[in-house]
Copies of this chain bind each other. A is one copy, B any other.
Amino acid sequence: MEKQAALERLHALDRDIKHLRQVTAILQWDQETYMPPAAVEGRSEQLALLEGIIHEKSTSPEIGNLLEQLGSTTIKPQGDTDLPDVERDFLRVVRKNYDRAVLLPAELVTESARAEGISQAAWVEARKHNDYKTFMPHLEKMIGYAKKKAECWGYTEHPYDGLLNIYEPGMTEGSIAGVFGPLRTRLSQLVQRISAKNPPRSEFLAREFPKDLQAQFGESVMKDLAYDLSQGRLDISAHPFTTTLGPRDVRITTRYFPTNVLSGLFSIIHETGHALYEMGFADNIRDSSLGDGASMGIHESQSRLWENVIGRSFAFWKGQYPLLKKLFSDQLTDISVEDFYTAVNRVQPSLIRVDADEVTYSLHVILRFELERKLFSGNLSVMDLPEAWNDMMQEILGVKPDSDANGVLQDVHWSMGAFGYFPSYAMGNLYGLQLWEALQADIPDVEACIEQKNYGPILHWLRAQVHIHGCRYEPKDLIVKITGKPLSAEPFINYLEHKYEQLYNL
């Protein structure tokens, strides 16, 4: 077969797999939003069937043959040097996905998928009854499967590296430890300095805010951020998420709580950040494996940048507060924009990651990273995990869980076997601020833009620098390409220190 024909055939096979993944996403979106309750069992059958078809297509020997024909090997995944750059990036990603799929024995895939469902159900029960012991054997099992997978995929230094590679291609336990180390130290210091001060008032955030008015405000902000409703929509689900259902179909969800005016809104901003990324891939890669986020961390950088750096800034609220105050004139009558901004950024060491503020959030993640690397190097047993969790919580945040339900059992990830996923959340903060420094240099009046609700220049910059590339570059290369420097915690910690020194008069 001619090289061009081989490339076209490989693109066709890749597109089919991508489209089947989108079909899976449609089924999952429906399940979380509109599906009637009795349909859940049938939906699982449909999803399992699709997973089987996707696995079969992903491991088809034809893909292996085409890759070889185009010069792509595991060692030299980009293939023949005479191919255009974008095709070589394409081959690298297809090779990576293919190798990852074929290296896993089919029984391991089926067996661990089956165990995952059972483990997740056990976790739900264990958390409900604050009963870590009943969850232990499942956690052992999921760690066992993850170790086996890491062995199949291979690694050079640490078994944990094989798992990290799924979420942060090219990153290792060592490189992450290198940035998390200084981050931990300086964040802990900042938290201590803040904790010594009197907290600002924020009780008014918990007044009664009708859901329909919250939705009105949230949708207005979403439109201001240029979320494109011709190729997306906002719905309600128990847990907010973003999902891509087609090349022009990226949907987000949120949820509203009447006595928490911020939760629904910040979920919208966060998910809009993810969605703008997915909507921004270049047209020539959108419908291929290159039309994907560069990594979980880069994806989080987009959502957190919009949610925190922009959405929790004084400039943002100077622009948006008038509408909020108009909608909630009773609830906010005595609250100035300065009061509101200060309350939005209240720092308080607490037990639950998803409720954490901007300063303490990354410490929750570092805790999980430290425990994961110990679990995978064999320096920590599943039996000793809760105690290690509680001790480290005390050590880095100064609070101690009153129960395992509010401690080691709080997150769903481990029950699903998603080890190596947590670091991405904090990496997102680091990537985000490093990008933000570069953006500020290119758009010196960015603060004035935000204040005027003119977010266009920011999106334009992110589109051109980040979104358009999809996953053509590994995160460690992408960050150098854009900012000229390798990943560092400095910009993030500098941003936090600067912001919170002002807010708390440190």
A338 at interface (Cβ–Cβ under 8 A)? no
Contact of A49 among B16, B27, B233 (CB under 8 A): B16
A67 at interface (Cβ–Cβ under 8 A)? no
Residues of B within 8 A of A101 (CB): none
A324 at interface (Cβ–Cβ under 8 A)? no
Interface string of A220-258 (1 = CB under 8 A from B): 000000001111110100000000011111010000000
CA distance A235 to B235 in the complex (A): 14
Q: Are A36 and B233 in contact (CB under 8 A)?
A: yes
Residues of B within 8 A of A20 (CB): 49
A53 at interface (Cβ–Cβ under 8 A)? yes
Contact of A23 among B27, B41, B229, B230 (CB under 8 A): B27
Residues of B within 8 A of A247 (CB): 41-42
Q: How far is the CB of A223 from chain B (nearest CB, A)?
A: 14
Residues of B within 8 A of A177 (CB): none
Q: Which residue of B lies closest to A48 (CB)?
A: B19
CA distance A231 to B39 in the complex (A): 6
CA distance A251 to B35 in the complex (A): 9
Q: Which residue of B lies closest to A15 (CB)?
A: B45
Residues of B within 8 A of A49 (CB): 16, 19-20, 23
A30 at interface (Cβ–Cβ under 8 A)? yes
CA distance A287 to B42 in the complex (A): 9
Copies of this chain in the oligomer: 2
Q: How far is the CB of A21 from chain B (nearest CB, A)?
A: 10
CA distance A232 to B34 in the complex (A): 10
A38 at interface (Cβ–Cβ under 8 A)? yes
A46 at interface (Cβ–Cβ under 8 A)? yes
Q: Which residue of B lies closest to A41 (CB)?
A: B248
CA distance A50 to B231 in the complex (A): 22
Residues of B within 8 A of A246 (CB): 39, 42-43, 45-46
Given A23-B27, A27-B26, A53-B53: A232 in contact with B36 (beta carbons within 8 A): yes
Q: Are A249 and B36 in contact (CB under 8 A)?
A: yes
Interface string of A1-27 (1 = CB under 8 A from B): 000000000000001100110110011
Q: Which residue of B lies closest to A245 (CB)?
A: B39
Q: Are A38 and B233 in contact (CB under 8 A)?
A: no
CA distance A50 to B19 in the complex (A): 9
Q: Which residue of B lies closest to A228 (CB)?
A: B38
CA distance A23 to B45 in the complex (A): 11
Residues of B within 8 A of A484 (CB): none
Contact of A248 among B23, B42, B228 (CB under 8 A): B42
